[in-house]
Amino acid sequence: MRKGRQSWRRAIRRDWQLYSLAILPMLFFLTFRYLPMIGNVIAFRRFRPGGSIFGEYWVGLRYVKMFLTDSTFWNVFTNTLVLGGLTLIVCFPLPIVLALLLNEVRTRYLKRFVQSVSYLPHFLSIVIVAGMIMQMLSVDGVVNQIVDALGGEPSAFLQKPEWFRTIYVSSEAWQTVGWGTILYLAALTTIDQDLYEAARIDGANRWRQTWHVTLPGIRPTMVTLLILNIGTFMAVGFEKILLIYNPLTYETADVISTYVYRVGIVSGNLSYAAAIGLFESIIGLVLVLSANFISRRTVGTSLW
Amino acid sequence: MVTADTLKPARRGRGIRPTRRGIRPSKGYRAFQVVNAVILTGVVIVTLYPFVNIVARSMSDQASIISGEVNLFPKGFNLTSYEHVMSDPMFWRNYRNTVYYTTVATGVALILTTTYAYVLSKRHLKGRTFLVAVAVFTMFFNGGLIPNYVLVTTLGLKNSVWAIALPNAISVFNLLVMKAFFESLPVDLEEAAAVDGLNTYGILLRIVLPLSKAIVATMVLFYAVSFWNSWFSAFLYMDRQELFPVTVYLRNLIAGSTGAEFAGAIAETDEAQVDATIKSVTIVLTTLPILTVYPFIQRYFVSGIMLGAVKG
């Protein structure tokens, strides 16, 4: 104890200038990251606008009970799981496939061209992406032109709940697949070429080489990105959904985060919304911790 | 169209290794190369198509759009909608706001990220693990929308640039990228500078930063692009139209349309017709700056991501 304090004193005397550089960033983390975490107590307290940011008095689990019996909550909860799950199933493997395909391209400028083009959507504001989605799916848009040409009946896709998931997941794939290949392409270049040589001598054809050499070679990258994806699972594209959903599609489009936004910011029930938001954050944390734990136990890769 | 033939010259160019894994490509593999080229061409087309379509729409006349004739090329070419949008003073005002918010927020972010990354890169520093943990934990758990909203409102940051700049001042990913870079710098130079009597601040400013121009440029781009593209903070905290960034300008334009359509007003009124090109034009005009700088900044992003991946 005593010794610990002394070495701290020595550390501060030696490195006080370094510690002083950390003051502003620490203030940032405390104010804008940790204070809001504590601010979640308003989920269990009565909150008055203009009053303390930590609320007025305790109300116990009132707001938690409220959302557990709220049928809209269970609807948005289901939608979150479905949209998160679909996004994971579609948008996690696609970059791997694209990276493997790009890896087989022997012409360097062609490879670079495809890469440059496929990274482009990543740099667009989500508002622009939403605008493009709306223009393409409008009654006079490209999709309806195709539907029309095939003899179908044009329809306003963005107002049909049954189309929302398809629209959401495919636009998500459009925006993320190219950028997602970067880490895999980097991992692919680190695979030892002798392994392919050995596999070939053992009589493995290209397909088997890919299966037994390439895929195991990028497995750590795959696992790490999978864990990270699972961590953001609950926070499914809040901003994009907010931009492209509307009351007609709430049935399938409304997710926990958009519901929190409407209940809290639009209707002003801040405590109730905070309770739902806290529930979402905790599930997110539990998901990433368990994914990390499982992967450390089974494949030996983990985030920390 | 890319075919196997277009692949040949470069293959010759690569010299002794015609393909990496074999001596002579099998018939099946050559077939695969063709299929692969077709798939990748498809990827390129699907990625670029929405851009081409939106440009075509922005330059077409209303009637052709409404009747669903505009596809790859403009029909009834005219630029009146461009004149219309560009003569709106609010559009330019919001554009100026975007530039202003991006500059201030990027500046703040750069200072905080650089100083903290430098501190975290010092392996000998006591309490370093704790300082890293403080940052990394926030990647996996955050306060959520409501407490943040209450905080920013209570601090009186509404309707000011600080509502955008301060809550997003450090991206932990960027922080880790920069930390990884600082850790890779040789320590000898800093030690020599310390022997010469330079203090920590002097070492950071005169020795470390001049060696880190590439990573600083990368950070500027990371932050600038993300602030340039952001809309939700401004949407949440700005109450007046003259304070909006251009992303919120665009958002209100496109959201207005779904509202109208939702009200059952899909009928082809004059307003709806004007709407069709105005939206496309605004999308084109807000995308243009990003498209212009994209070829130059893309490689910085890629190398930054790689650097982050080594550590992260």
- Report residue B107's pLDDT band, with 50, 70 and 90 as the boundaries: very high
- B14 pLDDT more than 60: no
- A261 lies within 8 A of chain B by CB: yes
- B257 pLDDT more than 60: no
- Report the pLDDT value the prediction gives residue B92, as an integer from 0 to 100: 93
CA A64 to chain centre: 25
- B168 pLDDT more than 80: yes
- Report residue A128's pLDDT band, with 50, 70 and 90 as the boundaries: very high
- B303 lies within 8 A of chain A by CB: no
Among A106, A224, A234, A261, most B C-beta atoms within 10 A, so best to mutate, is A106
Give a yes or no: residue A57 inside a domain: no
Answer yes or no: do A76 and A206 share one domain. yes
- B43 lies within 8 A of chain A by CB: yes
Among B190, B258, B296, most A C-beta atoms within 10 A, so best to mutate, is B258
- B101 lies within 8 A of chain A by CB: no
CB contact under 8 A, B141 and A178: no
Answer yes or no: do A7 and A140 share one domain. no
Spatial separation of the C-alpha atoms in residues A142 and A295, rounded to whole Å: 43
- Report the pLDDT value the prediction gives residue B23, as an integer from 0 to 100: 55
Among A18, A159, A184, A233, most B C-beta atoms within 10 A, so best to mutate, is A18
- Report the pLDDT value the prediction gives residue B164, as an integer from 0 to 100: 94
Q: Give the SS3 label for residue A184.
A: helix
* Chain A environment of B302 (Cβ under 8 Å): 119, 182
Chain B contacts in chain A segment 60-79 (CB below 8 A): none
- Report the pLDDT value the prediction gives residue B311, as an integer from 0 to 100: 53
* pTM (2 d.p.): 0.87
* Chain A environment of B248 (Cβ under 8 Å): 127
Give the closest residue to B256 by CA, choosing from A168, A264, A130, A255.
Answer: A130
- Report residue A2's pLDDT band, with 50, 70 and 90 as the boundaries: low
Answer yes or no: do A16 and A151 share one domain. no
What CATH number does residue A231 fall under? 1.10.3720.10
Stretch among A39-48, A70-79, A272-281 having the lowest mean pLDDT? A39-48
Chain B contacts in chain A segment 275-304 (CB below 8 A): 277-278, 280-281, 284-285, 288-289, 304
- Report the pLDDT value the prediction gives residue B32, as an integer from 0 to 100: 87
- B8 pLDDT more than 60: no
- Report residue A95's pLDDT band, with 50, 70 and 90 as the boundaries: very high
Q: Alpha-carbon dihedral of residues A245, A246, A251, A255, nearest 10 degrees?
A: 50
- Report the pLDDT value the prediction gives residue B274, as an integer from 0 to 100: 58
- Report the pLDDT value the prediction gives residue B238, as an integer from 0 to 100: 94
Give a yes or no: residue A207 inside a domain: yes
Which is higher by pLDDT, A50 or B40? Answer: B40
Phi and psi of B197, rounded to 5°? 95, 10
The count of structural domains within chain A is: 2
Closest partner residue to A260 (CB to CB) among B43, B145, B286 is B145
Note the pLDDT tens digit of each residue in B61-92: 877 777 777 788 888 888 888 888 888 899 99
CB contact under 8 A, A128 and B142: no
Query: How much is the ipTM here?
Result: 0.89
Chain A contacts in chain B segment 232-251 (CB below 8 A): 232, 236, 247-248, 250-251
Region A244-273: mean pLDDT is 92
* Chain B environment of A142 (Cβ under 8 Å): 49, 53, 71
Answer yes or no: do A31 and A132 share one domain. no
Answer yes or no: do A100 and A196 share one domain. yes
Q: Domain locations in chain B?
A: 4-58, 83-311
- Report the pLDDT value the prediction gives residue B16, as an integer from 0 to 100: 42
- B225 lies within 8 A of chain A by CB: yes
Spatial separation of the C-alpha atoms in residues A196 and A69, rounded to whole Å: 58
Nearest CA in chain A to B276: A135
User: Which residues is A45 bridged to in the sheet?
Assistant: A58
- Report the pLDDT value the prediction gives residue B20, as an integer from 0 to 100: 52
- B24 pLDDT more than 50: yes
- A175 pLDDT more than 80: yes
Spatial separation of the C-alpha atoms in residues B217 and B214, rounded to whole Å: 5
Region A49-66: mean pLDDT is 84
- A105 lies within 8 A of chain B by CB: yes
- B5 pLDDT more than 80: no
* Chain B environment of A196 (Cβ under 8 Å): 20-21
Note the pLDDT tens digit of each residue in B108-156: 999 999 999 999 999 989 999 999 999 999 988 888 899 999 999 999 9
Q: Give the SS3 label for residue A58.
A: strand
Give a yes or no: residue A56 inside a domain: no
Answer yes or no: do A37 and A166 share one domain. no
Phi and psi of A58, rounded to 5°? -75, 140
Answer yes or no: do A103 and A235 share one domain. yes
Closest partner residue to A106 (CB to CB) among B14, B169, B258 is B14
- A300 pLDDT more than 80: no
Closest partner residue to B146 (CB to CB) among A117, A128, A270 is A270
- Report the pLDDT value the prediction gives residue A38, as an integer from 0 to 100: 92
Structure tokens at A297: 């136990």
Structure tokens at A221: 């990258």
Closest partner residue to B71 (CB to CB) among A118, A138, A142 is A142
CB contact under 8 A, B112 and A178: no
CB contact under 8 A, B68 and A144: yes
- A230 lies within 8 A of chain B by CB: no
User: Which residues is A58 bridged to in the sheet?
Assistant: A45
* Chain A environment of B71 (Cβ under 8 Å): 142, 145
Note the pLDDT tens digit of each residue in B191-240: 888 888 889 899 999 989 999 988 999 899 999 999 999 999 999 999 99
Spatial separation of the C-alpha atoms in residues B109 and B112, rounded to whole Å: 5
Most confident segment among A31-45, A49-63, A203-217: A31-45
* Chain A environment of B286 (Cβ under 8 Å): 125, 127-128
- Report the pLDDT value the prediction gives residue B151, as an integer from 0 to 100: 93
Residue identified by tokens 């080594």 is B310
- A235 pLDDT more than 70: yes
CATH T-level topology, domain B83-311? MetI-like fold (1.10.3720)
Note the pLDDT tens digit of each residue in A261-280: 999 999 988 999 999 999 99
Is residue A91 within 8 A of residue A180, CB to CB? The reply is: yes
Answer yes or no: do A174 and A25 share one domain. no
Nearest CA in chain A to B126: A11
Answer yes or no: do A198 and A277 share one domain. yes
Which is higher by pLDDT, A237 or A261? Answer: A261
Q: What angle do CA A98, A103, A104 make, to 5 degrees?
A: 105
* Chain A environment of B67 (Cβ under 8 Å): 140
User: Which residues constitute the domain of residue A241?
Assistant: 65-298
Answer yes or no: do A19 and A87 share one domain. no
Region B153-178: mean pLDDT is 93
CB contact under 8 A, B22 and A209: no
- Report residue A224's pLDDT band, with 50, 70 and 90 as the boundaries: confident
- B296 pLDDT more than 90: no
Spatial separation of the C-alpha atoms in residues B34 and B39, rounded to whole Å: 9
- B38 lies within 8 A of chain A by CB: no
- B73 lies within 8 A of chain A by CB: no
* Chain B environment of A182 (Cβ under 8 Å): 302, 305-306
Spatial separation of the C-alpha atoms in residues A267 and B36, rounded to whole Å: 52
Nearest CA in chain B to A133: B50
Region A124-144: mean pLDDT is 89
- A3 pLDDT more than 70: no
Spatial separation of the C-alpha atoms in residues B269 and B66, rounded to whole Å: 10
Region A44-73: mean pLDDT is 86
CB contact under 8 A, B147 and A8: no
Neighbours of A286 (CB within 10 A): 11
Give a yes or no: residue A52 inside a domain: no
Answer yes or no: do A140 and A276 share one domain. yes
Burial of A212 (0-12, 13-18, 19+ CB in 10 A): middle
Give a yes or no: residue A289 inside a domain: yes
Closest partner residue to B68 (CB to CB) among A35, A148, A242 is A148
* Chain A environment of B49 (Cβ under 8 Å): 142
